[in-house]
Amino acid sequence: MESLTSTLKRKPTVLVVTSAVRATQSEQWKRAQAQYNILTYDCNDVEEFCNRLSPGGLYSEIDVIVRTGWLKAEPYSNHLLFTKAVAEYFPPTLKLIVCSGHGYDATDVPALTAKGIWYCNTPDTCTEAVANTALYLILASYRYFTFAEHCARHDWAASRVLGTKAVDPLGTTLGVIGLGDIGIRTAQKAALGLGMKLCYYNRRRNLESEKRVGVEITYCESLVDLLKVSDCVLVACPYTLATHHMLSTKEFNLAKEGGMRIVNIARGKLIDEAAMLQAIKDEKVVGVGLDVHENEPGINEAWSEDFMATVLPHIGVCSRTSWDGFEKVCWENVEAFFETGKPLNPVNIIS
């Protein structure tokens, strides 16, 4: 296996996988083009990618993969490049993969680690964009603005039903599942902007995160404890096999009298949507705001004509602020790796 020292004796090769939505930092991108041999990914499918990674293929001597831009945008949104099956084709020269975004549930990090490949995401680069989306969805779940807008366009008089349904979040409790960067920022906005009380659930209490929120926030020892006291539940935690359908029938049945509101800006499969739809019929769930969905792309057909729910096409991240942050941190990791032998914010540890 080629060492980093021998790699630096030649011009490193970086494969760039991007999308139609990307922002470049002018000076940084010029520096990258000067320092590295840049290859641009243009495979028709993952099978072609694997063929190019094979000995003698176009990508058989790459040192780094940088996947930047909006991952959900075309043309490669459905190309899962970092799975265990694909990792079998990675050449021994490949030492680092950097991918934009906070989540990495589509990446088999253990498989990469076993092959000695560092993997980095870009933490805290789309926090503001997603937190703003979360705040909008929280407010919409109380005031049903999606239904109101539908009425404004199609049936003005029908909006009057909101007179007995809509309420303000002031003084109600927001329960945050996952007090990471996005959970913290959303909690701050909800408390200071909407006057909400706060509680949260993590696998363990995090005093540093509580301090960062800046206002009073109560730790719940269990998910059950959080659901029993929350008027609105914000799902902001990572998706894993252990958190699959963490909100389902049993959890929705814990709703306070008057029902709970559910907002999800994390991953769709954290919620059992069939159970949530039934909970709406049972009036256990009385407001919904979803940026993510269980079977993306697309939404459950039940939401198509339900304007009392607010549903977005996974665009919480969608802001120039995010693209700038993605690009900056991606290339900072590459530069740090070639300067020091270690990237700035690896998800895994390579000994």
Catalytic residues: 267, 296, 314
* Residues 267 and 252 sit within 8 Å (Cβ to Cβ): no
Q: Is 96 helix (H, G, I), strand (E, B) or coil?
A: strand
Measured distance CA(175)–CA(179) in Å, rounded: 10
Contact in structure between 67 and 81 (CB atoms under 8 Å): yes
- Read off the DSSP letter of residue 256: P
Burial bucket for residue 72 (CB in 10 Å: 0-12, 13-18, 19+): middle
Q: State both tokens at 193.
A: 């902007």
Taking the C-alpha atoms of 96, 102, 103 and 106 in order, what is their torsion angle to the nearest 10 degrees? Answer: -40
Residue 332: both structure tokens together: 């900072």
